[in-house]
Amino acid sequence: MDEIVSLSKRRGFVYPSSEIYGGLANTWDYGPIGTLMKNNIKNEWIKFFVNLREDMLLIDSAILLNPMVWKASGHLENFTDPMTDCLSCKKRFRADHLLEEILKIKVEGLSTKDMTKLLKDNKIKCPNCGGELTEVRYYNLMFQTKIGPIENEDNSQNLFLRPETAQGIFINFDNIIKSNRVKIPFGVAQIGKSFRNEITAGNFIFRILEPEIMELEYFVREGKDMEFFEDWLSYIKKWYQYIGIKDENLKYVEIDENERAHYSKRTVDVYFNFPFGFKELSGLANRGDYDLKRHSEFSGKELSILDENTKDRYIPFVIEPSFGLDRLFLALLCDSYSKDEVAGEERIFLKLSHKVSPYQVAIFPLMKKDKIDDIAYKIYKELKLDFRCVYDDGGSIGKRYRRQDEIGTCKCITVDSLSLNDDTVTIRDRDTMKQTRHKIKDLKKILNKCFM
């Protein structure tokens, strides 16, 4: 993991946030290279889950919503973690994580009373200072804020930063079916930041305060929900192949009833083999009619749809595939991180799919003279129209290859003195390092074939 964190900083994927002020726990900033890759993942996700299908719409709802949304959704009551505080240093810890780490047991389904007893019986003390720990209590994970310039005592001004993007879809259900021609089954997708007051050490970007979530709510008739759940499970498996994650690094885990979210009828989580073990990468849940029913009750607005055949109205069931963008980003870095040896020296390269690699092609002039750089720059300007390209004329050619290898650039094109005579260049492959010579006029055709 340390190697991934170090590469991320060195090459501009991810930096510790607020670093010049000593940082802020569990927050990270995406650098220029990381931002390119993150956007590529998002674009591919939209392509795969929305554009390649005929039954999907995409929305972009607000982060701040009427507080009633969180009452109706159950987040005010249920979006909580069991915590214990240190009486000496005042640090707060996830009680379940402490017990799991120290006693190596599963604590899902245990009451706060049971967890407190386990802490006491096993004489577990504060991991920071060795102080006494309090009894375990549940704390809500939602961040609060206030609306308006003046702090006042009116509680109606208290707002929450959304902890998931899903609710923005449910509360727009009526707007969406009235403003679009949709028929059940159909889905609505959304990508956006969510905010969670996580206190546990994050393992780099695995657990952060503002994860970006890519999720969709797929509306189906009750009775068909289990069938569509299976369809989505297969579609998710195809997604991981499409985006280029090795199958052996993935595990599909059926979640027991007592471990599922309060709204879920069935959940299958996808686990990835991170350097710190197999951990949740994404989830698939059958939310039933829980959300639309609750919003109907709390808002007084009937959130149902008309069955064209029977003319009855009903509240659809919802199947929800949900992906953490930051976790997928980290999984892709870990999955693609590779090493080999070149002339007795270690080479690090990211074997990323061309779909997500920050750049697909790098163009180098071997020397900055004799018009070699003019030709290289012209090639760069032309290829840029069709591929994600970068121009690099700094340092030795070996250094330039290493730089591109470390950010996963798929192909490097080098223009040299031979190019002046025969209009050819070399194309070097990132993974095999094989170099082949080609006519400049054929480059587009060749690259198109590589990135099909």
Instruction: Compute the CA torsion angle 307, 312, 317, 318 (nearest 10 deg).
Output: 40
Please list every residue from 214 through 243 that binds ligand GAP, using CB under 6 A: 215
Stretch that binds ligand GAP, among 34-42, 87-95, 278-286, 297-305 (CB under 6 A): 278-286
* CA distances to 112, 380, 443, 451 from 387, in Å: 55, 10, 11, 9
Does residue 322 bind ligand GAP (CB under 6 A)?
yes
CA-angle at 226, arms to 224 and 228, nearest 5°: 70
Distance CA 157, CA 146 (A): 6
Q: Cβ neighbours of residue 423 under 8 Å, at least 6 residues apart? A: 439, 440, 441
For residue 219, which of 420, 56, 369, 10 has the smallest C-alpha distance? Answer: 56
- Which of 94, 327, 354, 403 touches ligand GAP (CB under 6 A)? 327
Side chain identity at residue 369, one-letter code: K
What is the Cα gyration radius of the chain? 26
Least spacing, CB of residue 166 vs ligand GAP, in Å? 4
> In terms of CB distance, is 164 or 406 closer to ligand GAP?
164
Residue 386 is a binding residue for ligand GAP (CB under 6 A): no
Size of the site for ligand GAP (CB under 6 A): 18
Task: Considering the complex, state which of residue 207 and residue 430 has its C-beta at the smaller distance from ligand GAP.
Answer: 207
In the complex, minimum distance from the CB of residue 131 to ligand GAP, in angstroms, rounded to a whole number: 27
- The helix (H) or strand (E) run that includes residue 139 is strand 137-140
Whether the Cβ atoms of residue 196 and residue 209 lie closer than 8 Å to each other = yes
Taking CA atoms, 256 is separated from 108, 272, 335, in Å, by 10, 19, 28
Q: How far is the CB of 315 from ligand GAP (least distance, A)?
A: 18
Stretch of 172-180, 210-218, 219-227, 240-248 contacting ligand GAP, by CB under 6 A: 210-218
Segment lying near ligand GAP (by CB under 6 A), choices 2-10, 118-126, 209-217, 222-230: 209-217
320/405 with CB nearer ligand GAP: 320
Cα–Cα distances (Å) from 377 to 349, 363, 384, 393, 414, in that order, read 25, 8, 10, 10, 11
Q: How far is the CB of 249 from ligand GAP (least distance, A)?
A: 15
Helix axes 225-243, 32-46, angle to 10 degrees: 140
Token code pair at residue 38: 């993150």
Task: Give me the least distance between CB of 211 and ligand GAP, in Å please.
Answer: 3
**Sign of the torsion angle spanned by Cα atoms 150, 156, 160, 162:** negative
Residue ranges in 413-432 that form contacts with ligand GAP under rule CB under 6 A: none
Least distance from C-beta 197 to ligand GAP, angstroms?
A: 9
85: left (phi over 0), alpha (psi -120 to 50) or beta: beta
Q: Which stretch binds ligand GAP (CB under 6 A): 35-43, 170-178, 288-296, 321-329?
A: 321-329
Q: Which of 191, 213, 268, 318 binds ligand GAP (CB under 6 A)?
A: 213
**Contact code string over 117-156 relative to ligand GAP, x by CB under 6 A:** ----------------------------------------
Considering only residues 162 to 201 of the shown chain, the ones binding ligand GAP according to CB under 6 A are 164, 166, 196, 198
Cβ closest to ligand GAP, residue 331 vs residue 383: 331
Point out which span in 81-89, 100-108, 280-288, 341-349 binds ligand GAP (CB under 6 A).
280-288
Residue 76's φ and ψ, nearest 5 degrees, are: -60, -35
Q: Which of 168, 324, 365, 408 binds ligand GAP (CB under 6 A)?
A: 324
Of the residues 135, 280, 373, 393, which one makes contact with ligand GAP according to CB under 6 A: 280
Q: Which residues contact 435 (CB under 8 A, 6 or more apart)?
A: 426, 427, 428, 429
Residues in the chain: 452
Helices H / strands E in the chain, number of each: 15, 23
Q: How far is the CB of 358 from ligand GAP (least distance, A)?
A: 21
Question: Whose Cβ is closer to ligand GAP: residue 4's or residue 362's?
Answer: 4
- As to burial, measured by CB atoms within 10 angstroms (0-12 exposed, 13-18 middle, 19+ buried), residue 407 is buried
Closest to 96 measured CA to CA, from 85, 86, 110: 110
Does 63 help bind ligand GAP (rule: CB under 6 A)?
no
Positions in the binding site for ligand GAP (CB under 6 A): 164, 166, 196, 198, 207-208, 211, 213, 215, 280-283, 320, 322, 324, 326-327
